[in-house]
Structure 1
Amino acid sequence: MDTLISRFADHLALAGRSSHTMAAYQADLALLAAILQPAPLHAADANELRRALAKLHAQGLGGRTLARRLSSWRRFFDWLQKNGLRDDNPASGLRAPKRDKLLPKALPVDSTAALLDRIEGSDALEVRDRAIFELIYSCGLRLSEAVALNLDDVDFADQLLRIHGKGNKMRLAPIGAQAIACLKTWLEHREAESGETALFIARHGRRLGGRQIENRLRGWAIRTGASQHVHPHMLRHSFASHMLQSSGDLRAVQELLGHANLSSTQIYTALDFQHLAKVYDNAHPRARKGIKPDEDS
């Protein structure tokens, strides 16, 4: 059986697969072979594969991992079938357990405020950084949307921001007072090359890139003592979560985020529920474990 797995790995190599991918396929197939013993791997039927999935699931493997392993198995049996080593693919009709839904990571309200308030200084780059991150959090911007902003996208009179979203869709978002103040301070420091229209520019006077923004936020998070890795999209997630916690208006949050489908916004309701559940667990007298009934009751 090791010979078949090796031949399959050679096939993947000829197809241009990376060494990492080949190693993953081989590990997935070796695991299946160990589960099926003493039955041979190449002769497995759909029921045996289904039992193998159930066994791995019972051992605690999540839906995403099981889906990847099943994909490896399916690819292997497809190769066997195409090379005349069996008549069918027993994995073709199988489905892994539902994948775990990955919730976006959001900062608590107080942690967000602490991070932003500690980004300070008179240096132009520090002033710029504060303005960028305040604006991303204030308007729920994607990183690409922050990078694409031009000077004329900011309406200071009405405190509105014109955002160039996905698919060239334009939307308007209100700008909070804190972000407005930081933007005005930044514009006093902004020194761009002639003809540059970007709202946020780098030291050389040209439009600031997304990677630079990510690096600057990571550096600020470390300097201000953040307990986790912070990236720009986390500020967008925090905006959505905090808005939903305060307003409960899913449709409004959808419009502010620029989501085409409400389903994209609904994931934040899970974050909102987590917040409520945490409050409940901390506050309700009978929610905490280990509470004993009164002895005289």
Structure 2
Amino acid sequence: MIDEAERNIEQVQIPRWGKVEQSDGTVPWLVVGEDLVPVEPVRRFLLDFVARGNRPWSVRSYAYDLLRWWRWLRVCEIDWERATSAESRDLVLWMMRADKPRNAARTKSLTTAGTVNVITRKRYLDDRYCARTIRHSNAVVRAFYEFWIERGEGPLVNPMPVARGSARVNSHHNPLEPFRPGGRLRYNPKLPVQRPRSIPDDRWLELFGALRSNRDRALLALAVSNGARAAEILGISLADIDWGDQLIRLTRKGTRVEQWLPASPEAFVWLRLHLADLGTSLDVNGSLWLTLRRRSDSSADLEYRPLTYDALRKVLTRANDMLGTNWTMHDLRHTAAIRMAHDGTLTSRDIQTILGHAHLSTTTEIYLVEDQDDTIRRVQHHLAHRAEHVASNPPTVAAGYDSADLNVLFGGVES
């Protein structure tokens, strides 16, 4: 085993051992070793994770975090049952410095990775692990060991410890705030404060004009009118549309609760045009969003298939390439929320209900804040007004000073 004091984080290279593989069994995603045999402790944990009602994509996310942990244990030359907080700490230190592994080298995105888009003022993703990724990895590792410690197996102490002073996290709970699920993990990096990314109206019109089909226009018009998440909108069928009251029914991500949401008249116009393009081939209970071209695999004929999240991302990628922007579907959710927050007739409870937030504090802390662009415009107006006031009321030159010399020194205007 590598001694803790001798572990050189800067020179560590994690091996490309094992992989996450899709399965047809009860556990939809598994971590398998080089022999393609599932890692049994991970499989049993993910089986319990599935039994608690978690969705397949959450299982996939947990599997990738545990694959990284297993690779790290191989670097440390230690069995999973003998891991300590030193291994957790060093993994976090490594993730803070390392680049994420890529299956293919960057091509088109090579010049933009990590830079800020001058139009949207948003930063492009780079190859570094962000704070949210590290925090999610820590949470998964801790949950994994909590499962095995509860069963009386694994180490006696969870190798992903909570911060000191977090033992009684809800002892002084404010009834107006949500309960915190547990203490802050010791090695969790701090999250940068992120403001909602609203798309200005003129930029929204540019993005909408860059779309190529009525399907894409209807989908984005629905998203920007009620702030529904992309995965929620993609699950809509024809039976989930109430044309009379202009409502759509979707299944909320996470809670899986069905909810009716209003949509704008414009969104329903584009939805009508989209259905006219489809003709009579649409299944009432099938997906409302189909590929524009017929697809097939080796075992099926050509057919129109449900639009996937990755395909929807490609739609936005093509529009962004045309405009030189980097908007995302989640920006549409932020845009809808900011528009509702600026409407004086809607309460914070109304916005919480439409967005599907479990806690009102989530809505108020993220969206019911002063808009940064409005603040900038007001300060710019203040500075311009002050400059006009100074120009129209120049200060009196004291006796003994030449006004021409002072104008040269301080950038004044010659009279």
- Whether TM exceeds 0.5 here: the answer is yes
Within 5 A, what are the aligned runs for 1:130-209?
Answer: 130-166=217-253, 167-190=255-278, 192=281, 197-202=286-291, 203=293, 204-209=303-308
Specify which structure has the bigger relative contact order, considering alpha-carbon pairs within 8 angstroms and separated by 6 or more residues: 1
Query: 2:349: which partner in 1?
Result: 251
Change (3 A) 1:22 1:252: same
Query: 1:105: which partner in 2?
Result: 197
- Identical pairs, percent: 24
How far is 1:99 from its partner?
4.1
How far is 1:268 from its partner?
1.1
**SS of 2:342 mapped into structure 1:** helix
Give the Cα separation in 2 of the matches to 1:13 and 1:134.
Answer: 53
* More helix by percentage: 1
| Corresponding residue pairs, total | 233
Query: 1:242: which partner in 2?
Result: 339
**SS of 1:284 mapped into structure 2:** helix
Paired amino acid for 1:274:
Q
Give the Cα separation in 1 of the matches to 2:395 and 2:94.
Answer: 64
Instruction: Please tell me whether the aligned partners of residues 238 and 284 of structure 2 are also in contact (alpha carbons under 8 angstroms).
Output: no
Change (3 A) 1:281 1:205: same
Partner deviation per Cα, 1:205-243 (whole Å, 9 max, x = no partner): 2321111111111211222x143x111111111111122
Query: 1:116: which partner in 2?
Result: 208
User: Runs of 5+ in structure 1 lacking a partner?
Assistant: 30-63, 72-88, 121-125
Paired amino acid for 2:287:
A
Change (3 A) 1:171 1:193: closer
The equivalent position to 2:329 in structure 1, one of 203, 212, 232, is 232
Change (3 A) 1:26 1:119: closer
Report which stretch shifted further, 106-115 or 8-17: 8-17
Change (3 A) 1:92 1:260: closer
Change (3 A) 1:160 1:196: closer
Query: 1:60: which partner in 2?
Result: none
**Root-mean-square deviation over aligned CA pairs:** 4.0
How far is 1:249 from its partner?
2.9
Query: 2:153: which partner in 1?
Result: none
Instruction: Please tell me whether the aligned partners of residues 238 and 283 of structure 2 are also in contact (alpha carbons under 8 angstroms).
Output: no
Paired amino acid for 1:185:
L
Query: 2:314: which partner in 1?
Result: 215
Give the Cα separation in 1 of the matches to 2:91 and 2:355.
Answer: 40
* Residue 268 (str. 1) matches residue 378 (str. 2): no
Change (3 A) 1:206 1:288: farther
Query: 1:5: which partner in 2?
Result: 6
Query: 2:107: which partner in 1?
Result: none
**SS of 2:260 mapped into structure 1:** strand
Instruction: Please tell me whether the aligned partners of residues 196 and 206 of structure 1 are also in contact (alpha carbons under 8 angstroms).
Output: no
Paired amino acid for 1:25:
L
Instruction: Please tell me whether the aligned partners of residues 119 and 130 of structure 1 are also in contact (alpha carbons under 8 angstroms).
Output: yes
Give the Cα separation in 1 of the matches to 2:271 and 2:331.
Answer: 21
Query: 1:50: which partner in 2?
Result: none
Paired amino acid for 1:186:
H
**SS of 2:250 mapped into structure 1:** strand
**SS of 2:336 mapped into structure 1:** helix
Give the Cα separation in 2 of the matches to 1:258 and 1:279.
Answer: 31
How far is 1:26 from its partner?
5.6
How far is 1:282 from its partner?
2.9
How far is 1:22 from its partner?
5.9
Partner deviation per Cα, 1:42-87 (whole Å, 9 max, x = no partner): xxxxxxxxxxxxxxxxxxxxxx69x98xx9xxxxxxxxxxxxxxxx
Instruction: Please tell me whether the aligned partners of residues 281 and 287 of structure 1 are also in contact (alpha carbons under 8 angstroms).
Output: no
Instruction: Please tell me whether the aligned partners of residues 280 and 287 of structure 1 are also in contact (alpha carbons under 8 angstroms).
Output: no
Give the Cα separation in 1 of the matches to 2:94 and 2:189.
Answer: 22
